[in-house]
Structure 1
């Protein structure tokens, strides 16, 4: 199945699906802070140099060449992020689906994308990322 999926999507350039196995968002942020603290201790940076960009550079997920997710599809009827990519989900749209992951089909994925597109069209503006309109 994995080889078939890889082969059928190898030319895709617009969508990226990231699966994080044995990953914890809190642990990722904690280890990033420890790395930054180590740089301060070694005198490589000053406390005043610490900012969001510096912490983000130390996240395990920073090795991915993809931007932060635009959409998180949360299956199984859960209404929480479950320690998944806590830093990266700050401005991510969420879609909560009352269906278990093994039962999530292509038609469900297509519906999720349509829902996301409708949200984007309704806004007709760029994300504000916390800024006032």
Structure 2
């Protein structure tokens, strides 16, 4: 569950922080990379890696500003069931669906 989290705000704050560090000479523009952005995100304090599977209940097929950066290679599952009704059976369906996915991490096969 995501409460009071904005992926866009998270990315914006990371960019502002890196811009400030660049302005102050702490880093060089040519040294900027994805790893640096990862470290500046609010979620960088988490011990958990980026999600492998994101389950969005209610049948809505959007991620609603959630983990925009972190979900680049996440598999997205959209069951047509509301959150209060999402129980063990639905969770097992999601895991079975995920198990059958061929993870490509952005590559075409």
The TM-score by the shorter chain falls in which range? over 0.9
Number of positions where the alignment pairs a residue of Structure 1 with one of Structure 2: 109
Counterpart residue number, 1:20:
2
Counterpart residue number, 1:129:
105
Any idea what SS the aligned residue of 2:10 has? Answer: helix
- Per the TM alignment, residue 61 of structure 1 is displaced from its structure 2 partner at its CA by 0.6
Instruction: Specify the structure having the higher radius of gyration (Cα).
Output: 1
Counterpart residue number, 1:93:
75
Q: CA RMSD in A?
A: 1.3
Any idea what SS the aligned residue of 2:98 has? Answer: helix
C-alpha separation in 1, matches of 2:108 and 2:24: 39
Counterpart residue number, 1:112:
94
C-alpha separation in 2, matches of 1:99 and 1:132: 31
Counterpart residue number, 1:11:
none
Structure 2 alignment gaps of length 5 or more: none
Structure 1 alignment gaps of length 5 or more: 1-18
The answer as to 2:12 corresponding to 1:30 is yes
- Per the TM alignment, residue 20 of structure 1 is displaced from its structure 2 partner at its CA by 2.6
TM-score by length of 2: 0.92
Moved over 6 A (4+): none
